Each structure stands twice: as C-alpha cells, then as structure tokens.
Amino acid sequence: MVRRVPCSRACFILANSIGKCQADLLDKMGHVKLQTQTGINAIEDGSGLCDAGYPNKTTVACMINAEIGAVLAVMRRNVRWGVHYMSDDDQLEHFLVQSLKVLRRQIFSWHNQWHVISPSLYLQPFLDVIQSDETGAPITGVALSSVYKILTLDVIDQNTVNVGDAMHLVVDAVTSCRFEVTDPGSEEVVLMKILQVLLACVKSKASMMLSNQHICTIVNTCFRIVHQAGTKSELLQRIARYTMHELVRCIFSHLQDINNTELALVNGSTTLKQGTGGLNNEHNSANRQLENGSLNSASDSQPLSACIAGTDSGSVSDVTATVVVEDAGIVSSGKETDLNELQLMNEPYGIPCMVEIFHFLCSLLNVVEHMGMSPRSNTIAFDEDVPLFALTLINSAIELGGPSFHRHPRLLYLIQDELFCNLMQFGLSMSPLVLSMACSIVLNLYHHLRTELKLQIEAFFSCIILRLAQSKYGASYQQQEVAMEALVDFCRQKTFMVEMYANFDCDITCSNVFEDIANLLSKSAFPVNTPLSSMHILALDGLIAVMQGMAERIGIGSLSSEQSPVNLEEYTPFWHEKCENFSDPKIWVPFVYRRKYFKKRLMIGADHFNRDTKKGLEFLQGTHLLPDKLDAPSVACFFRYTAGLDKNLIGDFLGNHDEFCIQVLHEFARTFDFKDMMLDTALRLFLETFRLPGESQKIQRVLEAFSERYYEQAPHILANKDAALLLSYSIIMLNTDQHNSQVKKKMTEEDFIRNNRRINGGNDLPREFLSELYHSICKNEIQTTPEQGSGFPEMTPSRWIYLLHKSKKSAPFIVSDSKAYLDFDMFSILSGPTIAAISVVFDNAENAEVYQTCMDGFLAVAKISAHYHVENILDDLVVSLCKFVTVFDPLSVEDSIIAFGDDTKARMATETVFTIANRYGDYIRTGWRNILDCILKFHKLGLLPARMASDAAEESELSTETEDGGKRNTNSLSLSRLPSVSTPKRSSGLMSRFSQLLYLGAEEPRSVPTKEQLAAQQCTLQTIQKCHIDSIFTESKFLQAESLLHLSKALTSAAGQPKKGNSASEDEDTSVFCLELLVAITLNNRDRIELLWQGVYEHISNIVQSTVMPCALVEKAVFGLLRICHRLLPYKENITDELLRSLQLVLKLDARVADAYYEQITHEVSHLMKANASHIRSHLGWRTITSLLSITARHLEAAEAGFDALLFIMSDRAHLLPANYVLCVDAAKQFAESRVGQVDRSVMALDLMAGSVSCLEKWTKDAKQATKEEEVAKMLQDIGDMWVRLIQGLKKLCLDQREEVRNHALLSLQNSLTGSVGINLPDSLWLQCFDQVIFSVLDELLEISQTHSQKDFRNIEGTLVLGLKLLCKVFLQLIQDLSQLAGFSKLWLAVLSRLEIYMKVKIRGRRSEKLQELVPELLKNILLVMKTGGVLVQSSSVDGSSLWELTWLHINNFAPSLQSAVFHEQDSEHLQHKQSEKVEGLGPDVCNSVSSNETAGKDDPGIG
C-alpha cells in the first residue's frame, strides 16, 4: 500500500474529526518533541533570531552528512536500492541515491557560510525521497526526520538566501508525501513525523516566509491526519491533535503583531471567493439554513467517514482521503480564481489564512449532525468529541489573538455570527465537557471582545446559562453544575456584574440579566429539603464574589454617593434617547440611571396594562411615560419594547378596527428592521411579539401592516406589497395546515407552489424561492401563540437573525472602570437574598472552609451597608449572625464554656458579629439589641472583664479630669469611692475565669479537665479576646448619634423593667450590668448628653421609684446618676439644671433604701458640689443640692458630711449667691434645729446664718451700681426678701429648747439686725421686723417661761435677758430713722410695753432680780439717747397724745423715778458726762448718735 499526500491547493475539507478530546503529547513520543528554541514562546515573544550566531559550518556539514548516511543506510536494506555496477547501463544508481551521494560530495566543498547557501540545495534530495512513491515507510520516515533536524538547527532563518522558496518546497513535499505501506506501525510513524515536520515549519524562524496558501495547506494536512487517526492507535490520535492545537496557537499568536487594519480588511474580504463564493456566500447559505430551522449546516453529500476506508496492504494510498464536501469551507467550486486573490494567498501569511482557518474551525461545529461513525472509531464519545476538539482549537485561537480580533472585521464577524450561533447550540449540549468549553470561550470573549458582543453575551446568559442552571428547564445535574461553575467564574470578574447591570438591566430593550443572575444564585444557594451540596456552596461563592467586588470598589471613587432622582414633569420620547458619550462616566451614569427609572416604571405600567388595558395606559400617562394625548408612535414603542406585557392583549389591541389602533399597528410594524431577511424569517419575528388574533379581519389588518413594512425594506423579488400580503397569508395557511393535528391531509410542496401562482404582480414567483419557504415552514412551525412572560426562551433561528440585526443598532457596550457608580442600586437588589442565602448555608454547613466563606460574605455585606448607610440591611445581617452565637444555658457554666469552645460555627459567628459592631457600629440600629443579648450571654458565663463598663467610664474620667502636671483632681468622683456591687460569684474577670477552670476548687471536688476540654476553654477565651467587646462602649463616643441612641435604648430594653420587691438574682445581675454599660456610654458621650439624657434618666427613675429594699441595682442607679452629674456639670452648663433636678430622685427613695445609702450619697453629693459649685448658677440647681444636704441634718451618719458641704458653700461666702442664699439659709436652719450630733454643729450653723449678712450688704452695693432704676429696685427688693428670710429663720431658732442654741440664736439675730445697716432696708421692713420678729420672740420667750418647766427650757431667765438686750440695742441703732416714721409712737409704746412686762414678770413664782435691774437701766439709756437726739422733748397736747405725755404716762407705771433721773436741772456738761458713763455699753454707733464729739466706750458686759 502506498500513501500519498496531495497538495493541489490550499483548501480545507469540511469534515468531522474522530478521536480523543485532548491532544496530549505522551512521554513515549519523545522522538517528536520540539526543540525549545523554536517553541511557541519564541514566536509569541516576537524575538527575532536573525541576530543570533549560526552554528559552525563544519559542524552543520557533518550533521547533514550523518543524515545522508542514515537515509542511504536504510535504503540499502531494500534490494531495490542495493549495489549497482557502472558497466551495466540498465543498473545505474537510482536518482534518489545518486542525488544523496552528490550532496554528500558537495557539502564539505562549500566555502560560504550556511545562511548564504540556498537551503534548497541540501534539502531537495531528502524532499525527493519523501515525495517518491517508490520508497517504503522506513525510508520516508528517516528522510522526514532528517528534514526535521535540519529545520531545527538554526541554520535556516528569515535572512537565509532563498529561504522562502526552500520553505515552500518543504511544505509542498511533506504535504504531498508518498510512501509504500509495509505495516500499520511504520505507517503511523511516518504520519507522526509528517506532523512533526509541519509543526517545525510553522515554529521555525523562517515561518514568516510561508504564504497564506501554505499555512492553509499545513492545517488542512494536519486535520486530515487527525481525522484518519480515529482508526489508528491512541498515540497517533494524541500526537495529531496536539500538533493541530500547536499549529493553531502558533498561527494566531501572530495576530497581535498584525497592526495594519486596512490591509487586513483587504485580505479578509477578497480571499475566500475561491471557495463556494467566499465567506459571504457561505454566510448567506448559513442564514438560509437558519431560516430553515437548523443551527447546523446541512450537507447532502456522502458522510466523510464513509469515504475513509482501509485498503489492502501493498496498494498505493494517500495520507488522507480526497473527499470534497459541496459546501466546505474553502474548497474550490470550479470557478476561475481572481489574480488578486491568488496574489494574496501567495503573500506571507497573515489575516487571510487566519480567516480561513477560523472559519473552518467554526464550520467543524456545523457538520456534527451529518457525520457518520466508523466501526473502528476511538473510544471517545462521538457526540462530544468533534465539537469539543473544535471548541478547544477555537478557544486557543481566542486566547492568543485576544483583543486583536477587534482590529480585523472579518474575524470579528465570524465570532459575532457563526461562532456564537454554534455556541448557542453547543451550550445546550448534554456533554459537560462541551458545555464547559463553550462557557470558557464565552469567558475569553467577554474579556477581550465584550464591547463587540453585547447582545450575544445577553443571549448566551439568557438562553444557556440561566436555563441550564435551573432544574425546572430539564437540565441534568451535571449541566446545572457546569453552568453554575461558569456563572460563578463570571461573577468573580470584578466588573462583570456592574456591566451586566449597566448594559442590560438599565436598557429598556434588554432583559434584566443582573437581576436574573442574582435571583438564580440566591435561590440556588438555598438547600430546600435537601442536604447542603456543592451546588449550594458554588452559588453562594458567586454571591459572595459579587459582594466582595462591591466591597473592594468602596473608596475607589464614584461620581456621588447618590444620584439625584429622576423627575418627569412631562412626557419625552425616551424610547430612542441616545447617550452622548459612553466612555465618560459623568455622562453615561446619569443616562443609565434615567433608563433604569423608565424601565422600572414601565414594569409597573405593564402590570397595570395586563390587568386593565385602559387603566394601564392611563397610569402610564399619569407617570409621563406616555403623552397626555396618546399618539400612535409612543404606544407602539410601549408595545414593542416593554417586557412582560400580555401578548394576547397586544394582539387584540393591534387587530382592533379603531382608527387609533390601526395607526398604532402601522407604527408598531415600523419598529421592525426587515432588511436582508427572508419573508418567513421576518414574519416569525413579527409574530413573536404578540399573539395573532383569531378573527380573519384582524389577521387581515395585521398582515397588511406587516407586508407594507416588509416590502418597504426588503422587496427582493416581490413586485409590490400586495404580493407580500398574499404570500404572507399563504405562509400562515401553510403553517396551520402543516402543524395542526386536526388537518389530516397535509399540503404538498406542489400544492403550495400552485396556490401561489401569479401573485407577484400577475407573474409567478421563482419555484426555488417558494420551495425554500415551504420546507422552512414544514421544518419549523411559526409560533402564532408566542411564549408569555419574561422567562429564559430558547434561541430560535429567527431570533438569532433578529439579534444580529438588532446588534447593529444597539447602544455600545459600557465598560466599567472599577468604580462604584451603580453599586448602591445593585446592592439594594442583591443584599437581602445574599444575607438569607449566607445564613442558610452557614446554618447547614459543617465545614470550616465554608464557615469562613460565609463570614467573608457577611463582612463584605456589612462593609457595603455601612458605606451606603443602609442601616436596615446591616441590622438584618446582625440579627442573622446573632442567631448562631449559641450558649447552652441548661448546662453548667464550665460545660457551656467548653461547648462554646468546641463549636467552631458559634465562635466564628461571634467574632464576626463583634467585628461588625466595632467597625460599622455607626450604622447599626435595632441590631444593637441582638448584640447585647450576645454580650449578656458571655457575661452570665463570666467571660467578660470584671469591670468592663466601669473601665470604660474611668478611662474617660482619667482622660478628661487630669489637671496640671497630670495630677488627678482630688475632688473628682472616683470609682474607688463608690460602693462595690455584690455581683454573683461567677461574674469574675476573663483571666480569673480561666484560672477557675484550670484549678477547680477543693471544696467541691471535680474531675480534672482533659486536654480537649482545656483546649476548648482556651479557644473560648481567645475568641472573647478577639471580639474586643469593651471597645464598643469605650469607643462609643465615636458612634453616630442615631446609632448611639439605639445602643442606649437597647441597653435599657435588655435591662428589663424593674419589679417591685425582690427580683431573681440573675435578672438583677443582668440589670446591673446593663445599667453599668448605660452609665459608661453616657459618661463617654458628655458632648452629646442631650441625646441620651432623657432615656437614661427615665431608666434610673424607674429603678429608683420601683425599689423598696436596698439592692445592688438601686445602688448602681443612684451612684451612677451622681457620677453622671459629677462628670457632666463642668461641661454642660446648658443642662446643669436638668442634671441637678434629676438628683431629686434621691429624695424619692424608699425610706429603707435611703437609710442604707444616705451616708454614701451625702459624700458623693458633697464631692459633686465642691467640684462643681462654680458651675451651679440657677436657683433650681441649688435647691436640689440644698434639699439633699438638708435631709442629712436628720441623719446621724450623713449629717457631718452634709454640714461639711454646707460649710463649704457659706463659710467663705464665695459660693453664696442670690440664687442659693435663701436655700442655704434654710439648710443652715435645718442643721441648727437638728438635734442629731453635737450642739456645736447647731451653733456653727447659726454663725453661718448670721455671717451671711455680709453677702447681703455686698450685693446691695453691687446693685446700686446697676444702670437701670428698675433693675436696682428689683435687686434691692430681692435682697430685702432674703434678709427677711434670714431673720425669720433665726427667730425660730431663738425659741429652741436647747439653751446654747437658743441663746446663740438671739445673739446671732442681734448681730444680723445690727449688722444690716449697709443693706439699705426700707423703714417699713424694719417696722415689720420689730412687729413680727423681735416682739414676737420676746412674747413667745415670755410665754415659754410661764408655761414650760425648767427641765424643758433650762435657764430661760438668761434668754429673757438676752432678748431684752436685743430689743434695746436694735431700737437704739435705728431710733433716728424710725423716729421719722408716722408709726414711731406705736413702735415706742410697744417697746415700753415689753419692758414693763419683763419688769413685772415672775419666773417660777418670783420676780427676776436680773430683769428688775436690767429693765430700768436699758430704758434709761434709751431715754437719754432719745433726749439727746431730740426724739423725746417736752411737749403737750390737748388730748394728751403727744409722745412726751404718752411716754411718761407709760413709764411712770413701772419706773416713775426715771423722769427725774433723766430730765433734772443740772449743768449740761455734767449731764452729758453722766450720760456717757451710763450708756457705755451701747457701743460707738449709739454714742455717735448722742453727740458728735462723744467718744466711744467699751460695751457693757451686761448688754453685750
């Protein structure tokens, strides 16, 4: 058998390859391994080798000589090539042997370098051997090896002389190789070496000298061997496929180096006419096949495999079968080839051969259905082998060509049409391998050419990926899994989902690919009544990949955080709006937002329309999506481009006889582009958009509109629109006839042709045209009841043709630049399903890796939610996560800790919850309640720091209350001064808890923990430490206001409502802990106390008022309130009163509770007041303080601290203010009245009261400096009121039962009255003072002396003496002013009356000697002063009512001798001298009033 490889032309045979799907080069084929220096990497890098050094001349000659010897040695084994003698003319050496020997003689005689020697000289003898049909397979194989070796010596490159001719000779010789087959093994060796040499040619440095024709010939030959290898050994199959794969890679790796687009256009557009009319004609044929309903190219020729039959040994055979398929890719149809085309094919290879090869690879996918199977075909499944092999080659070409396809329209069009059309078919393959490879190709195309494949990508997802990934469309589990894997791969591309949303979801005419993918992934991640599978996790990976992509875009930048809303005030024809610049985000982002708004509103309008046509249109008018006055074009666009409309309603509307409906119908038809479409294809597209009405008149109107539009755009052979109408009618009738089961007798082709005679303007239509229409309708029914809804339809031929037409007019593909332009809207759609899916998967998962994936997803969602301030989503996420923070309450503390440590899921959820709380707490709202529940769980187990809340407060305190030199203010409220709350024993600190677990108490013996238990405990502690729970509260000052408020409310809610009586210790422990945290965040947020105060106060108030017994909770509430006031008073003057008013809660404490804590409360109030006295300005604030201090006067333990605080206020007068004067006086009176403690405290209180007069005098001076008279009068009146309050307070104390207090009170009252001269009190007030205070005190003291025993009021006589001295001293000091008053006589008589009574009083049954002596003496002094001052002068009146007469009338009753003693006839100087001696005790003021030159004497001890 002789094999031959003919090389008639550079043509492909459109045939099927039968063999393995992967062409791996096995280790055993080492003899065909390529030299690394000629590998594809060198070609891809474009590194020129012409500068490299050539091998040594002698070395190369020796190598070639060795190859000659090897060939001759093999030839000599055959008798035919044996020794011949020169004498025998007929036995001369054969030409092949002779040429080899001649070459051997010459190679060592050549003097030039090898690159200047034509390679043909030393290659031709070997090529002759290869081409000879007289040589056997062993000889041919050795010759091929020799050629391969020479090609790989780096002797031949692009600079070698005549290298182009030499390379052409090699390709021609190898592709036309002929040899005699002796055994199958040797035949396969030769085929392998042929592949080896051809691949070496393409990888050679001189490969660029090969023409387009030779490249096509090489690929054609290799494919023939691939095809024939299906009946050969596994090794040959794999080598053949590997070689084919490498050829494609080498050829298309040059595509990126071809930059001349113009040349590529010329080359690509003129090359293929040597085939069946070129690619244009072939594409028309493909379109015709599509119209006939087949996605595969139809071929009626003999199946290729049937032409490849084995022949008997010894016969002559070609390497591959010479089979020609009629519609093969570039097989000649016998037409003359244009000289220009031949010239292009003979040029160095470039775009022309790449177009041929790529088209051929696509055509391999078209003949799958028309191929037979050889009985000796390999074990690879036939239904997946051929497409898989072709798809693999195509994928390699796209990988290497990459974006360079974009520069070459012919290649690009092959991808847009033929390749994608086939991908749409093989995407539905039952073979997972084929489906996977198709998806890989689309992924590569997306990366490199997505701007040119917008609608193709949409179709692939809608019709393939989204259909197969769902079980409801009948896909197998394997198909679902492959589709899901492909979808997730796309989702992992950072900008994929953004571009899907921008290009499709925001395009009115496209489907919502983003939403469909999101819905699919979220639903697929849910394990419904099934265990968790890889499919669920895969879908979840896709969702999380999308979320992580959004999270990574945060901070990269966007136009604005939120786009301004679209407001339509009137209708605009938005259907055909265009974006000015799709490359500028400032332009296209608002544009797509606007389009998305329209699309959303249209979806709502479609829903209204489907329920009620009229109301639906009215709704659209109301939203300005249709004009107020309906016009036909706008309604037609609504019907044409709005998804989800009920197609029955559209059909009824369009078929209506109403004039407006007819206008809409014709406008509707004008929205279609029927250019270059066959009539049946156009009709299919038209009828897919609505349901054709059943009434003949409606059908008539619809078809008239269609025919008019079709004839307008694609008349072809039709004479007029009536011909189009009649033919359309005929097609509809044929469709009904052929596909209606009730029609028994079907219309034949002849019947159809006969029915359409003379309809074309009186002439017949071409028979071939009608025949094509007939078969198209018979094979594929026109769906007059199209699919409803917006599901995932199958791709039909007519839909594909429409897609290609539509792609010419569609908006450009928007390429995202990895910025977050649309992420907010996308996140709004995706967040809810993602959180739910992650939660369900996390709940059902049992793998740590899946746990981590879920946590990464949660964190990504949290980050995005926080960035876009979507609080409700973040709350949902927190709620979902907190469900997994499980602590086993029924177990013991130790068991619960161990169980938590063993629960990886719970620990990871815990860490994630608190990571979110710490990072994104600003945007948590209701979720704080769930977080607090988790914190409380750990608190109950004693896993939190022992003083976590207190530490937070102290830290704030230390950081803000340090003074110069870093010293702490000694008056500040310290936690060390606060009583410690008796917390449960188990609520110990984190490390102490661990210690307890390690060293269990000896009192209750337990088993020693195992290593596993200790490890679990350690895990628990590490988890809690990682959570940084305390940071939530210590850093709460950085929380946004709303979040902080929700945190505060959550703490209040978690603490629960306080209950009357004793509550369970566990509940109280929780309430105490929450209260501590509440106080902590309040202290940490002093600058925002207004935000928190109301809630905090109400909570503490509820605790205080509902507690009837001392307990830790009320203790913490009271002292927490005091701490808040103490900390905030210096900084928040605007709410000082409110803070201080809150302290009145202390006054509402139950008596038992107050008794338990009042000493400590007083200390704290004292510290608070001392530290903040300067900040308390209002009367209200001081009233609260003094009220608290006043209560302590009756409390034995608290009195000292309370009086100390009062002493601080009143002693140095610095903090005594008009606002607190009366309050402090009242408080001092309380302490003076109190019998708790020593009398000294009461005496000191009296001193404080008396000393406060100086403040009144100072304020009077200050008041006089005021500018406004009204203000002066008001201030003086207020001072007078304060003075009255002081005097009245002292008056009461003058009646105290205790002698020391009573007597000191009288002295204090005397000092206060005599020291009030500078206060500038009105005379009327003094009269009131005498009447209501002085006289009242004297009268009441007198009454006490008469009614009470000595035991009750000890030494009352001394008190009476002091009272009289008080009366006389005050009267003498004020006599000059009082004498001017009209009521002076009455006042004077009242004084005389008291003196008389005291003179005559009996104490315990006898007159008082002290009073008997004191009264005349005091009265005499008064009279002398009155005489000297001219107040009392001798006068008379008719009725005897003069002051003189009344005075002596009264005095003579009890001291008749005084008149002569005071008013006797003596020398005035002697009299004045005597008077001065008598009144020495009245002091300087009185003496000065007697005489201006009178000197002051010492007070009389009896009066002073």
| Per-residue pLDDT, 674 | 87
Question: What pLDDT band is residue 1457 in, cutting at 50, 70 and 90?
Answer: confident
Of 764-768, 1002-1006, 1010-1014, 1126-1130, minimum mean pLDDT range: 1002-1006
Contacts of 57 (CB under 8 A, 6+ apart): 110, 113, 114
Q: Is the pLDDT of residue 1129 over 60?
A: yes
Highest mean pLDDT among 28-42, 393-407, 564-578, 1137-1151: 393-407
Judge whether residue 596 has pLDDT over 60.
Answer: yes
Region of poorest pLDDT, from 34-48, 387-401, 613-627, 1134-1148 = 34-48
What is the mean pLDDT of the segment spanning 415-424? Answer: 91
DSSP annotation of 785: S
d(CA 461, CA 585): 26
Residue 1474 confidence (pLDDT): 42
Residue that wins the pLDDT comparison between 1250 and 291: 1250
Q: List, as own/partner pairs, every contact residues 743-752 make where C-beta atoms lie below 8 angstroms and the sequence separation is at least 24, other chains included.
A: 749/774, 749/775
pLDDT digits (tens, 9 = 90+) for 191-228: 999 999 999 999 988 888 889 999 999 999 999 998 88
Return contacts of 45-53, CB within 8 angstroms, 24+ apart. Answer: 46/257, 48/158, 49/154, 49/157, 49/205, 50/157, 50/158, 50/159, 50/205, 52/154
- Rounded to 5 degrees, what angle do the CA atoms 637, 641, 647 make? 100
Closest by CA to 1404, choosing from 1346, 1352, 1353, is 1346
Q: Let me know the angle formed at the C-alpha of 824 by 819 and 826, rounded to the nearest 5 degrees.
A: 95
Longest dimension (CA), the chain: 205
Question: Across residues 674-697, what is the average pLDDT?
Answer: 88
* pLDDT of 338: 56
In sequence order, the 6+-apart residues with CB closer than 8 A to the CB of 1112 are 981, 982, 983, 1068, 1072
Is the pLDDT at 327 greater than 90? The verdict is: no
Residues of the chain with pLDDT > 70, as a percent, come to 80
To the nearest whole percent, how much of the chain has pLDDT over 90?
28
pLDDT at 1359: 87
Cβ contacts of 226 within 8 Å, gap of 6 or more: 17, 19, 237, 240, 241, 244, 389
How far is residue 1433's CA from residue 1442's CA, in Å, rounded to a whole number?
10
Find out whether 547 and 860 touch, Cβ atoms under 8 Å.
yes
* Both structure tokens of 722: 């009536």
Could you tell me which residues come within 8 angstroms of residue 284 by beta carbon, excluding any fewer than 6 positions away? none
Which pLDDT belongs to residue 567? 65
In sequence order, what are the beta bridge partners of 3? Answer: 179
Who contacts 1081 (Cβ-Cβ below 8 Å, separation ≥6)?
952, 1033, 1036, 1044, 1047, 1048, 1051, 1092
- Length of the chain counted residue by residue: 1504
| Residue 416 tokens, joined | 């847009």
Q: At what angle do helices 679-688 and 721-739 cross, to 10 degrees?
A: 70
Give Cβ neighbours of residue 377 (< 8 Å, ≥ 6 apart). Answer: 18, 230, 231, 305
- Dist CA 210 CA 221 (whole Å): 15
Range from 28-32, 347-351, 433-437 carrying the lowest mean pLDDT: 28-32
| 5-20 tens-digit pLDDT | 433 333 333 333 323 3
What is the C-alpha to C-alpha distance for residues 1373 and 1482, in angstroms, rounded to an integer? 9
- According to the model, what pLDDT value does residue 820 have? 84
Predicted confidence band at 1494 (pLDDT cuts at 50, 70, 90)?
very low
Q: Binning pLDDT at 50, 70 and 90, where does residue 1053 land?
A: very high
pLDDT, residue 445, reads: 95
Q: Which of 604, 620, 598, 580 is nearest to 509 (CA)?
A: 598
Under 8 Å between Cβ of 1156 and 1110? yes
The arithmetic mean of pLDDT across residues 783-790, rounded, is 62
Above 50 in pLDDT, residue 861? yes
* Distance separating alpha carbons of residues 1417 and 802, to the nearest angstrom: 133
Q: What is the pLDDT of residue 54?
A: 63
Reported as a single tens digit per residue, the pLDDT across 833-855 is 999 999 999 999 998 999 999 99
Confidence label for 505 from pLDDT (cuts 50, 70 and 90): very high
Query: Residue range 86-93: average pLDDT?
Result: 54
Q: Which of 1026, 1112, 1107 is nearest to 1076 (CA)?
A: 1112
Q: Which residues are catalytic?
A: 695
Whole-number pLDDT of residue 1489: 36
Helix boundaries (H) for 108-182: 119-131, 137-151, 163-175
What is the CA angle 249-252-255, rounded to 5? 150
Q: Are 1306 and 1242 in contact (CB under 8 A)?
A: no
- Taking residues 1154-1176, report their average pLDDT: 85
pLDDT of residue 361: 92
Helix/strand number for the chain, H first, E second: 66, 4
Q: Does pLDDT of 77 surpass 60?
A: yes
Per the CB < 8 A criterion, the answer to whether 195 and 275 are in contact is no
- Report the pLDDT value the prediction gives residue 1203, as an integer from 0 to 100: 87
Is 987:938 a contact under the CB 8 Å cutoff?
A: no
In this prediction, residue 172 carries a pLDDT of 92
**Residue 575: pLDDT over 90:** no
Question: What's the rounded mean pLDDT across residues 867-880?
Answer: 93
CA atoms within 13 A on the CB side of 1442: 11
Q: Among 1298, 1350, 1417, 1447, which Cα is nearest to 1409's?
A: 1417
Query: Which tokens in the block code for residue 731?
Result: 């097609």
Q: Using alpha carbons, select from 1322, 1228, 1339, 1230 the residue that is nearest to residue 1284.
A: 1322
Where b means 16+ CB within 10 Å and e means fewer, 1032-1068 reads: bbbebbebeeebbbbbbbbbbebbeebeeeebeeeeb
And the tokens for 163? 């290298």
- Averaged pLDDT for residues 404-428: 90
What pLDDT score does 569 carry? 67
Contact between 1404 and 1350 (Cβ < 8 Å): yes
Q: Poorest-confidence range of 276-285, 444-453, 944-953, 1393-1402?
A: 276-285
Between 289-298, 748-757, 1466-1475, the lowest mean confidence (pLDDT) is in: 289-298
Residue 824 has pLDDT above 60, yes or no: yes
Q: How far apart are CA 1334 and CA 1347, in angstroms?
A: 20
Separation between Cα atoms, residue 882 and residue 914, nearest integer Å: 10
Q: What angle do CA 740, 743, 746 make, to 5 degrees?
A: 100
Distance from C-alpha of 1334 to C-alpha of 1327, rounded to nearest angstrom: 10
CA neighbor of 1288 nearest in space, from 1332, 1326, 1246: 1332
Angstrom distance (rounded) from CA 921 to CA 1257: 58
Q: How confident is the model at residue 251 (pLDDT cuts 50, 70, 90)?
A: very high
- How confident is the prediction for the chain on average, in pLDDT? 79
pLDDT at 694 over 80: yes
- Is the pLDDT assigned to residue 253 strictly greater than 80? yes
What pLDDT was estimated at residue 581?
A: 85
Q: Are 26 and 235 in contact (CB under 8 A)?
A: yes
**Residue 302 confidence (pLDDT):** 30
Which has more pLDDT, 1216 or 1466? 1216
- C-alpha 1062/C-alpha 1083 separation (Å) is 29
- pLDDT at 384 (0 to 100): 67
Q: How many CA atoms lie within 13 A of 900 on its CB side?
A: 31
Lowest mean pLDDT among 78-92, 1075-1089, 1210-1224: 78-92
Report whether pLDDT(248) > 90.
yes
Show the tokens assigned to 1418.
Answer: 């005091």
Collapse the DSSP code of 1472 into the 3-class scheme (helix H, G, I; strand E, B; otherwise coil) and give the result: helix
Using CA atoms, how far apart are residues 462 and 485, in angstroms rounded to an integer?
16
Question: 690-725 b/e with 16+ CB inside 10 Å = b?
Answer: bbbbeeeebbebbbbbbbbbbbeebeeebeebbbbb
Helix axes 278-291, 767-779, angle to 10 degrees: 50
- Helix ranges (H only) for 271-417 are 278-291, 339-345, 351-364, 382-401, 409-414
Specify the pLDDT at position 813.
92
The structure tokens listed for 541 are: 């990976």
Q: Rank 283-297, 309-323, 769-783 by mean pLDDT and report only the highest.
A: 769-783
Gyration radius of the chain over CA positions: 57
